[in-house]
Amino acid sequence: MQRYTKIRANMTFSRDFIELSCRKGVLRFGTFLTKAGRTSPYFFNAGLFDDGGSFSDLCGFYARAILGSGVAFDMLFGPAYKGIPLVAGTAMRLAAEGMNVPFVFNRKEAKDHGEGGMLIGAPLAGRVMILDDVISAGTSVRESIGIIRAHGAEPAGLVIALDRMERGQGEISAVQEVKEAYGIPVVPVATLMDLIAYLGDSPELEANLAAVQAYRDAYGTHDAIR
């Protein structure tokens, strides 16, 4: 089976992704309570990429992150539910770049008629790149890796939209936890540091910079993942 590798390394698209996220209201600024009980000055909701144009752009950013990552892989996996449109759309954008890769996604409940089973798409095989929106508790990642390994394949890496670079219950971030627990790379389209840099260059949004930096100082980690 062919292994796809890095074909370009320009990661400046992170800024374009943040700009689109702000324009669509996917990335908002204000006062928000996180699942960890923290008061955050920003909130990211990938579900608001809710039209054809912006979602196509989102999948294009995922494709560019994959192409720039240097991670070898054979196919894509999208965990239900948010990963389902992501994996299909990203496979289409990769095909437009000349990389025609198979993809598969899972159901939440097994189907007992028709084709049956828990998976829809290509057979799980080889090295599998997982696509999700964010990492919070890591439940989706654990379930995805379990499914992949149960079918005799191996996880190659995980692609997410935004790495908040924020500590979990301990001293390391959710991204670091995934890397340490499973030994796979995590490839973000953008990180909190990309967001901070964008705010510093944006006259319209610069007023939010101090609050985001303060949140980073209070809860951030200093891992460099790319």
Residues noted as catalytic: 111, 113
Question: Which candidate, 78, 61, 32, 20, places its Cα nearest to that of 161?
Answer: 61
Number of residues that make up the chain: 226
Contact 98, 151 (CB under 8 A): no
What is the distance between the terminal CA atoms of the chain, rounded to a whole angstrom? 27
Q: Where are the beta strands (DSSP E) in 57-213?
A: 75-78, 103-111, 117-121, 127-131, 154-163, 186-191
